[in-house]
């Protein structure tokens, strides 16, 4: 039956940006389908047997999932299923359910579901996201047990392409499987920006809006819908005007910024006085930006390989990684690609139940740290990179190095993989450069012993700033303190460059600051070997380079390094920026 097209606008909070036009599909929560049935005394044992069987089948399913997770994803993701196995087999809980089936003479599915609702209600209202996540895990297990009790198998429903799914909440696994079915966005009633769903949706570029007052039973499937996860609006049965507005906005947001790279004449750009400033792009998941960069021979200065994990919620196996790295190495045959090994943890995992809960994840198990413990996953990744390296255009970058022993261990593991490949006569680049991210102040303070060991350095100003200033980069309460233009950050960058140049090692910048036009004269003055930035910043940066006279930046660099406050640094840089291209450029830094 065709849905009644009724114009309606619901407001919500976007947690993964984007705007799409599609058709609605409402997914009602399973719990509404669990009906209460009176059971005669003679059939009560049958209900209890059915419950035991359903638990057994669920345990088998979860064991299978855990085993395949061990193979494909390694330690952390298996913890999801271990936790779910414990929930499924909680004997005290099951004993209480069985007791109530007998005393209330009701069907197992209903009694079980009532117990689940009682157990999860206080968890759901907790202020702690970890506890709220626990409620979702319990419900995921209950969903399996109840579907076994009702004799249903858990097959993914068939979803037509171009669907916007509307439901109470979706698990990361559901988001991934719906994405494979070409779902284009989600509207949910529960969750938050740090929910697993938000994390996965952002990595997959799927827009999501949370609308807390969503009345699912009042919504219909099959209606045309605009999901605006920028302004936080869901428009059902949009008017012609709203559709045309949507089309305009799509056009404006499209890849226009990136396609402008095509029109750049000179890459790398040269300053007014002819000094080349090498620029590169940062890559997350493959997309149109990489195609254009490859065409223009712009290197990838930072390939955030962890997005291969985040996009799937599982560690990609060696073969899958090899295909990705091989493809990118082939595409960038005319330039180079710096592949950063998995940089997981903190904001790139901490909201996921597959990762251990940490009180202080920014100072916890992140970057190189977990990978040195999950050695076989690290080696799988290194093997995949090495196998794709025969064109000699790949480099390995190790994230979050804070101690020399971490670099030594990683290097040993890389040497082991090389040795194994050699024995098998597999081709690879024997001299593949191995570099480190400079993100932790300790790295710079031990530069004299550490830097001579590495092949190159890449300054991650995003993390370096948060660790120098003790200001969490994602905490809005300290956003006023988190500033990469703080004189201490600039001093640390200068120190890194000096130490690197002293031992003849190339040094890049790949944090957000690399693409900031305000910082450009500083980096030109420091003679950074590569500025690698988000691709949509490349065009403006290249155009600005051409207007700067590199001979004029040294006094500016001296003056900002002598500044005692962030505001005076910014004032000097702004005054220089405003004067770029004019004769005032020369005097601007004295203002």
For the annotated catalytic residues, the residue numbers are 196, 510
Which residues in 430-449 contact ligand PEP (CB under 6 A)?
A: 439
CA gap 360, 191 in Å, rounded: 22
Choosing from 343, 353, 380, 516, the residue that interacts with ligand PEP (CB under 6 A) is 343
| Contacts to Mg ion from residues 449-488, by CB under 5 A | 460, 463
Q: Parallel, antiparallel, or unpaired for β 224-228 and 19-27?
A: antiparallel
Which residues pair with residue 508 across a beta bridge?
Answer: 458, 530
In degrees and rounded to multiples of 5, residue 18 shows phi and psi of: 150, 170
Residue 467 beta carbon to ligand PEP: minimum distance, rounded to whole angstroms: 9
Strands of 399-523 (E only): list them: 434-438, 456-459, 507-509
CA distance 12 to 15: 10
Only segment of 67-75, 291-299, 329-337, 460-468 that touches ligand PEP (CB under 6 A): 460-468
Q: Which does 109 bind (CB under 5 to 8 A by kind): Mg ion, ligand PEP, none?
A: none
User: Is 138 in a helix, a strand, or coil?
Assistant: helix
> Which stretches of 546-584 are DSSP H helices?
553-561, 566-579
Among 198, 361, 460, 535, binds ligand PEP (CB under 6 A): 460
Neighbour-count burial of 507, counting CB atoms closer than 10 A to its CB (0-12 exposed, 13-18 middle, 19+ buried) = buried
89 binds ligand PEP (CB under 6 A): no
**3-state class (DSSP) for residue 241:** helix
Tell me whether residue 269 or residue 460 sits nearer to Mg ion (CB atom).
Answer: 460
Q: What residues contact 68, with CB distance under 8 A and at least 6 apart?
A: none
Distance CA 204, CA 201 (A): 5
* 304 touches ligand PEP by CB under 6 A: yes
Distance of alpha carbon 556 from its chain centroid, rounded? 36
Cα-flanking dihedrals φ and ψ of residue 473, to 5°? Answer: -70, -15
Which is nearer to Mg ion, 290 or 439 (by Cβ)? Answer: 439
Q: Give the number of residues in contact with ligand PEP, rule: CB under 6 A.
A: 10
Distance of CA 183 to the CA centre of its chain: 19
Dihedral sign computed on CA atoms, order 399, 493, 279, 505: negative
Question: Is the Cβ–Cβ distance between 16 and 202 less than 8 Å?
Answer: yes
- What order do you get walking across the sheet with 224-228 strand by strand? 8-11, 233-236, 224-228, 19-27, 163-167, 185-188, 208-210, 13-16
Containing H/E element for 217?
Answer: none
Query: Which candidate, 264, 301, 296, 257, places its Cα nearest to that of 280?
Result: 301
Q: Considering the complex, what minimum distance in angstroms separates the CB of residue 343 from ligand PEP? A: 6
| Nearer CB in complex with ligand PEP: 461/496 | 461
Helix (H) or strand (E) holding 472: none
Q: Which residue in this structure is represented by tokens 């969903």?
A: 143
Q: How far apart are CA 106 and CA 283, in angstroms?
A: 56
Smallest separation, CB 277 to ligand PEP (Å): 19
The region that residue 151 occupies, defined by phi over 0 for left and psi between -120 and 50 for alpha, beta otherwise, is left
- Binding ligand PEP (rule: CB under 6 A), the pick from 169, 321, 461, 566 is 461
Three-class SS state of 13: strand
CA 207, CA 231: separation in Å to the nearest integer? 11
509 contact choice in Mg ion, ligand PEP, none (CB below 5 to 8 Å, kind-dependent): none
242 touching ligand PEP, by CB under 6 A: no
Contact flag: residue 301 with ligand PEP (CB under 6 A): no
| Interface pick for ligand PEP out of 462, 554, 559, 568 (rule CB under 6 A) | 462
- Contact region for Mg ion (CB under 5 A) — 17-25, 294-302, 433-441, 548-556? 433-441
Q: Which stretch binds ligand PEP (CB under 6 A): 100-108, 409-417, 454-462, 493-501?
A: 454-462
Give which of Mg ion, ligand PEP, none residue 120 binds (C-beta under 5 to 8 Å, depending on kind).
Answer: none
**For ligand PEP, the closer CB: 387 or 473:** 473
Picked from Mg ion, ligand PEP, none, the partner binding residue 496 (CB below 5 to 8 A depending on kind) is none
Residue 345 interacts with Mg ion (CB under 5 A): yes or no? no
> Candidates 145-153, 188-196, 378-386, 455-463 — which segment interacts with ligand PEP by CB under 6 A?
455-463
Query: What whole-number distance in Å separates Cα of residue 442 and Cα of residue 497?
Result: 15
| Size of residue set near Mg ion by CB under 5 A | 3
Q: Where are any strands of DSSP class E within 309-460? A: 337-340, 394-398, 434-438, 456-459
The item of ligand PEP, Mg ion, none sharing an interface with residue 510, based on CB under 5 to 8 Å by kind, is ligand PEP
Q: To the nearest whole angstrom, how small is the minimum distance from the Cβ of residue 15 to ligand PEP?
A: 19
Contact call for residues 434 and 455 (beta carbons, < 8 A) = yes
**Site stretch for ligand PEP (CB under 6 A), options 62-70, 231-239, 264-272, 458-466:** 458-466
Closest separation in Å from C-beta 437 to ligand PEP: 7
| Smallest gap from residue 433 Cβ to ligand PEP (A) | 18
CB of 301: closest distance to ligand PEP in angstroms?
A: 9
What mask, x for binding ligand PEP by CB under 6 A, covers residues 5 to 44?
----------------------------------------
463 binds ligand PEP (CB under 6 A): yes
Which residue, 143 or 460, has its beta carbon nearer to ligand PEP? Answer: 460
Q: Is residue 474 within 8 Å of residue 523, measured between CB atoms?
A: no
Angle ∠(590,523,277) on CA atoms, nearest 5: 120
The answer to whether the CB of 533 falls within 8 A of the CB of 541 is: yes
Give yes or no for residue 137 binding ligand PEP (CB under 6 A): no
Q: Which C-beta is closer to Mg ion: that of 228 or that of 512? A: 512
- Residues between 504 and 523 with contacts to ligand PEP, criterion CB under 6 A: 510-511
Nearest position to Mg ion, beta carbon: 463
Q: Using CB under 6 A, which of the segments 82-90, 406-414, 459-467, 492-500 binds ligand PEP?
A: 459-467
Residue 511 contact partner, candidates Mg ion, ligand PEP, none, CB within 5 to 8 A by sort of partner: ligand PEP
Which residues lie near ligand PEP (CB under 6 A)? 302, 304, 343, 439, 460-463, 510-511
Binding interface with Mg ion (CB under 5 A): 439, 460, 463
């Amino acid at each position: 039956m065709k849905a009644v097209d009724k114009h309606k606008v619901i407001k919500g909070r976007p947690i993964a940006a984007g705007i799409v036009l599609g058709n609605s599909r409402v997914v009602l929560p399973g719990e509404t389908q669990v009906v209460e049935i009176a059971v005669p005394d003679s059939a009560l044992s049958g209900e209890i047997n059915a419950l035991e069987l359903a638990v057994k089948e669920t345990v088998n399913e979860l064991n299978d999932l855990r085993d395949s997770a061990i193979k494909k994803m390694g330690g952390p993701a298996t913890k999801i299923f271990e936790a779910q196995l414990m929930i499924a087999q909680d004997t005290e809980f099951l004993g209480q359910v069985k007791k109530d089936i007998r005393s209330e003479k009701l069907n197992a599915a209903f009694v079980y579901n009532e117990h689940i609702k009682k157990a999860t209600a206080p968890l759901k209202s907790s202020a702690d996201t970890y506890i709220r996540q626990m409620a979702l895990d319990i419900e995921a297990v209950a969903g399996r047990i109840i579907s076994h009790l009702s004799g249903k198998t858990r097959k993914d429903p068939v979803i037509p392409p171009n669907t916007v799914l509307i439901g109470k909440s979706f698990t990361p696994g559901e988001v991934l499987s719906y994405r494979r079915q070409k779902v284009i966005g989600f509207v949910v009633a529960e969750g938050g920006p740090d929910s697993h769903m938000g994390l996965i949706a952002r990595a997959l570029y799927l827009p999501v809006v949370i609308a807390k007052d969503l009345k699912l039973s009042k919504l219909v499937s099959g209606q045309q819908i605009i999901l605006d996860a920028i302004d936080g609006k869901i428009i059902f049965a949009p008017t012609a005007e709203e559709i045309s507005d949507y089309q305009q906005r799509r056009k404006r947001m499209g890849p226009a910024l990136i396609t402008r790279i095509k029109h750049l004449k000179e890459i790398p750009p040269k300053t007014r006085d002819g000094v080349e400033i090498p620029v590169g792009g940062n890559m997350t998941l493959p997309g149109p930006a990489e195609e254009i960069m490859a065409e223009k021979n712009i290197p990838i200065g930072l390939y955030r390989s962890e997005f291969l994990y985040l996009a799937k919620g599982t560690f990609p196996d060696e073969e899958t990684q090899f295909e990705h790295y091989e493809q990118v190495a082939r595409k960038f045959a005319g330039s180079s690609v710096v592949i950063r090994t998995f940089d997981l943890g903190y904001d790139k995992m901490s909201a996921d139940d597959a990762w251990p809960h940490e009180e202080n994840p920014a100072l916890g198990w992140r970057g190189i740290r977990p990978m040195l413990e999950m050695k076989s996953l690290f080696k799988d990744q290194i093997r995949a990179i090495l196998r794709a390296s025969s064109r000699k255009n790949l480099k390995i970058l190790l994230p979050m190095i804070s101690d020399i022993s971490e670099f030594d261990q990683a290097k040993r593991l890389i040497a082991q993989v090389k040795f194994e490949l050699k024995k098998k006569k597999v081709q690879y680049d024997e001299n593949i450069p191995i570099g480190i991210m400079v993100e932790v102040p300790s790295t710079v303070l031990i530069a004299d012993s550490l830097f001579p060991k590495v092949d190159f350095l890449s300054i991650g100003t995003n993390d370096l700033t948060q660790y120098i200033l003790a200001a969490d980069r994602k905490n809005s309460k300290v956003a006023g303190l988190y500033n990469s233009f703080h004189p201490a950050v600039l001093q640390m960058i200068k120190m890194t460059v000096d130490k690197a140049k002293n031992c003849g090692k190339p040094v890049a910048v790949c944090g957000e600051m690399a693409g900031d036009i305000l910082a450009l004269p500083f980096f030109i003055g420091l003679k950074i070997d590569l500025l690698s930035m988000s691709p949509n910043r490349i065009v403006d940066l290249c155009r600005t380079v051409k207007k700067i006279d590199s001979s004029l930046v040294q006094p500016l660099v001296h003056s900002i390094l002598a500044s005692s406050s962030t505001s005076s640094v910014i004032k000097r840089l702004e005054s220089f920026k405003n004067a770029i291209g004019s004769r005032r450029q020369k005097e601007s830094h004295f203002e």
